[in-house]
């Protein structure tokens, strides 16, 4: 890491491209699922699209590039419009992280498929090196979004899922403490010793997930 950016500056174009795709698919998954379940709020706001401009939060993207942590525009959801509010709210919320898990698996599947078809046999060293770099960032970013968003702390998707099972009084107390919870969470992210002992171990789960995907694909190919 250099003094200005969280990532190597020469890799920024690739990283920004992957982030735009990962964020856009994540938010699209929320919006599309809500729309299919009967809530057209996000649809009417133009969020059922893969266009990054509809989902991009410029401050969130800047933080991601500078600090390794960022966000996109949250998708508006009105759970009262669902036939089964609890179940459908959980599915709408889970759709985002799951979409990033699928993005990781699909790209890894394509790499295995092309390799099995001997497409890379005559590729140059530079091409293979760049492909490896792209693959590492693609898998790391999408798996990080999958894991990170499942942390049960507001305002992350993981909390929205857990919230469906909490008593109303508990929800109200958490809402009242929202600012303090967010502040504490940001400290966990931006203070290295705290991050290394909390968020860090969770992010390390990317390795066994990636390895698990690789084992499955090795069995197929």
pLDDT tens digit sequence for 46-92: 999 999 999 988 888 777 777 667 789 999 999 999 999 999 999 99
The pTM for the full model equals 0.91
164 noted as active-site residue = no
77 neighbors 56 (Cβ within 8 angstroms): no
Q: Which of 10, 27, 164, 176 is catalytic?
A: 27
At residue 2, the pLDDT reads 40
At residue 120, the pLDDT reads 94
Six-digit token string for 179:
């600012």
Low-confidence ranges of the chain (pLDDT < 70): 1-7, 67-68
């Amino acid at each position: 890491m250099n003094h200005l950016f969280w990532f190597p500056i020469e890799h920024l174009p690739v990283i920004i491209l992957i982030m735009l795709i990962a964020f856009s698919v994540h938010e699209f998954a929320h919006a599309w699922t809500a729309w299919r379940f009967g809530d057209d709020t996000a649809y009417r706001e133009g969020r059922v699209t893969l266009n990054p401009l509809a989902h991009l939060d410029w401050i969130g993207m800047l933080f991601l590039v500078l600090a390794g942590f960022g966000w996109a525009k949250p998708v508006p959801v009105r759970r009262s419009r669902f036939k089964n509010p609890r179940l459908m709210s959980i599915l709408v919320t889970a759709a985002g992280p799951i979409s990033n898990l699928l993005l990781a698996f699909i790209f890894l599947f394509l790499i295995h498929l092309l390799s099995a078809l001997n497409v890379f046999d005559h590729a140059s060293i530079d091409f293979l090196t760049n492909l490896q770099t792209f693959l590492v960032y693609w898998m790391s970013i999408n798996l990080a979004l999958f894991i990170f968003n499942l942390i049960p702390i507001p305002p992350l998707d993981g909390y929205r899922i857990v919230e469906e099972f909490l008593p109303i009084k508990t929800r109200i107390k958490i809402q009242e403490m929202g600012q303090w919870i967010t502040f504490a969470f940001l400290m966990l992210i931006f203070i290295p010793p705290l991050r290394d002992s909390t968020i860090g171990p969770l992010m390390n789960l990317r390795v066994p997930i990636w390895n698990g995907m690789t084992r499955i694909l090795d069995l197929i190919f």
